[in-house]
Amino acid sequence: MFSKILIANRGEIALRIIRACREMGIRTVAVYSEADRNSLHVRFADEAICIGQPASSKSYLNIPAIISAAEITDVDAIHPGYGFLAENAHFAEICQSCHIAFIGPTPENIRLMGDKMAAKNTVHKIGLPLVPGSDGVVKSKEEALKVAKRIGYPVIIKAAAGGGGKGMRICHNDIKLASSFMTAQSEAEANFGNPDVYIEKYVEKPRHVEFQILADTYGHVVHLGERDCSIQRRHQKLLEESPSCVLDNKTRKRLGELAVKACKSVNYVGAGTMEFLLDKNNNFYFMEMNTRIQVEHPVTEMVTGVDLVREQIKIAAGERLQLKQENIRIEGAAIECRINAEDYENNFMPSPGRIELLNLPGGPHIRVDTHIYQGYEVPPYYDSLLAKVIAYGSDRQEAIKIMRRALNEFNIGPIKSTVPFHMRLLENSSFCKGDVSTHFVQEMLGTVQEPAQNE
C-alpha cells in the first residue's frame, strides 16, 4: 500500500480524500493556491505546499508545480479528485513517467472515453444501446442533412471532444441544421481544439441516469447501481439520488451487466461512471463515460456501504477488488443536495464572500461533506460548491423527509446559497412523485435553459 499521497485538488473533495487516507494510515500532502491558504484541506493534511496564484491555470492545473510538489514530498501517488486534472490523459502519463501512481484509470482509458465517438463505438460493439445518429464524424452540411433525413428531427450536434453538455446544439429543421452546422464545427475547434462533430436524434425531456463502476487491474469489474441526476440547471447538477425511482431490479441488472462488460472490453481500471439518457418510454441510451470520482459519489456510498475513494486507492496500489457483484446490495435511498454559493432568487448568481454565520445540519442519517467553516472566505476563483448534504432513508419518501429536516438546520450568512432552492424543490409534488426530467428545474423556475457554460 502507498505510504503518502498528494491530493491535487481543493475544497470538499480534497477533504474527502484526506479522510480516506487517514483511515487507511496513509500520510497526505495538500497543494493549495494563494487563495486557499486558509482552507481546511491545508490544515487537515500532514503537509501542504503552495503551488501558485489563485487562477486555476496557475495552480490546480499547473502540472509542473504539482509534479514538483510530489517530488519534493516524495509521495507514492497522486489523487486528482474531480475537475482540474482528473480527466487529463497527459497528466496521468506524466505521473507514470515520474513513477508516481495516478489514482485513476490508465491514460489509454482516459483518452478513449474523452473521445465521445470512439467511446460510443466501443460500447456499442458490446451491446450497449445508442441513440440513433451519424456513424462517426459528420464532415459537411450536406452529410448532416442526410443524417437528419434518416433519423428525423429534432437532432443534436455534439463536439467529439466535448462532453458534460459542452458544445451541443439542438436543431428542429433543415434550415436550422444548415445554418448551425458550420458554427458548431468552428465552436468545437475553438473550444476543444478539434472541429469534429457528430449528430444524434435529440431525446426530449430525458432522465439522466448513470451507473457507478469499479474495476481492478486484474480485470475484475463490478457495478454499484445507478444514480439519477436529472435535477440540473445549465448542465450543473443540483440534486442526485440513488437508486433511480424509475429503474426496476431487472433493468438495473441488465444495464449494470452491460456496463461491466463494456468496461472489461476496454481493460478499464479504477472508478468510472457510465452515463445514460432514459426517454419517456424508459428506453436507455449510452451517452458517455466519466473516468473520475464524481461529485455525487456519496449517494452510492450510502446505499451500498462501499467507500469509493478507499476502493480507488486500493485499486491504484494494485490490490484486488474484494467486492463481488452478488454481495453488492442496494439498500434504502439516498439523496444529495449540492449547496452552492449562489443566489437562486437572482438567477443563481455567484455569491462569494466571508461566512459570518454557519450552522451545519447533523443528526441521524445525514452526511455533510464540506470544507467551509464560520469565518471562512469563499474565494471567487473556483466552482461555487460549498457543501453536499446527503440524506439516507429506508425509501425515497423517508430520505426526502430527512433532507427537509436537515436543510431546515442549514443556516449560512450573509452569503447566499442554494438551500432555499432545495427547500422549494423538496416541497414540489412532481419532484416528490419522482416525475422529473432534465428540464424539470427550468420548468419549475419558469425559465428557459440557457446555453451550457463553457468552463
Interaction site with ligand MV4 (CB under 6 A): 131, 156, 164-165, 200-203, 206, 208, 232, 235, 275, 277, 287-288, 438, 449
Closer of 206 and 225 to ligand MV4 (Cβ):
206
Q: How many residues are listed for the chain in this entry?
A: 455
Please state the closest distance from residue 439 (CB atom) to ligand MV4, in A. 7
* Least distance to ligand MV4, CB of residue 283, Å: 12
CB of 230 or CB of 242, closer to ligand MV4: 230
Question: Largest Cα–Cα distance in the chain?
Answer: 62
DSSP 8-class letter at 453: P
With 0-12 / 13-18 / 19 or more C-beta atoms within 10 angstroms meaning exposed / middle / buried, residue 448 is: exposed
Task: Name which of 28 and 290 has its Cβ closer to ligand MV4.
Answer: 290
Asked whether 261 and 127 are in contact (CB, 8 A), the reply is yes
- For ligand MV4, the closer of residues 235 and 310 by Cβ is 235
292 is a catalytic site residue: yes
Q: How far is the CB of 143 from ligand MV4 (least distance, A)?
A: 18
Looking at the Cβ atoms of 59 and 212, the one nearer to ligand MV4 is 212
Active-site residue (options: 292, 338, 367, 396)? 292
Closest CA to 153 of 170, 130, 178: 170
Closest CB to ligand MV4 among 99 and 448?
Answer: 448
Neighbour tally for 125: CB within 10 Å: 10
What beta strand segments (E) does 38-122 contain? 47-52, 77-79, 101-102
Shortest distance in whole angstroms from residue 444 CB to ligand MV4:
14
d(CA 253, CA 192): 36
Residue 393 C-beta: closest distance to ligand MV4, Å = 26
Q: Phi and psi (nearest 5°) for 234?
A: 50, 45
Distance of CA 321 to the CA centre of its chain: 23
Q: In whole angstroms, what is the distance from residue 51 CA to residue 113 CA?
A: 29
How far apart are the C-alpha atoms of 337 and 6, rounded to whole Å?
28
| Nearest approach, Cβ of residue 286 and ligand MV4 (Å) | 10
Give pairs for 281-288: CB < 8 Å, separation 24+: 282/246, 282/251, 283/129, 284/129, 284/209, 284/251, 284/255, 285/129, 285/130, 285/131, 285/203, 286/120, 286/123, 286/124, 286/128, 286/129, 286/130, 288/113, 288/116, 288/119, 288/120, 288/163, 288/164
Output the smallest distance, CB 390 to ligand MV4, in A.
22
CB nearer to ligand MV4: give 146 or 235.
Answer: 235
Measured in whole angstroms, the distance separating CA 403 from the mean position of its chain's CA atoms is 21
N-to-C CA span, the chain: 36
d(Cα 392, Cα 27) in Å, to the nearest integer?
30
**Which of the residues are catalytic?**
292
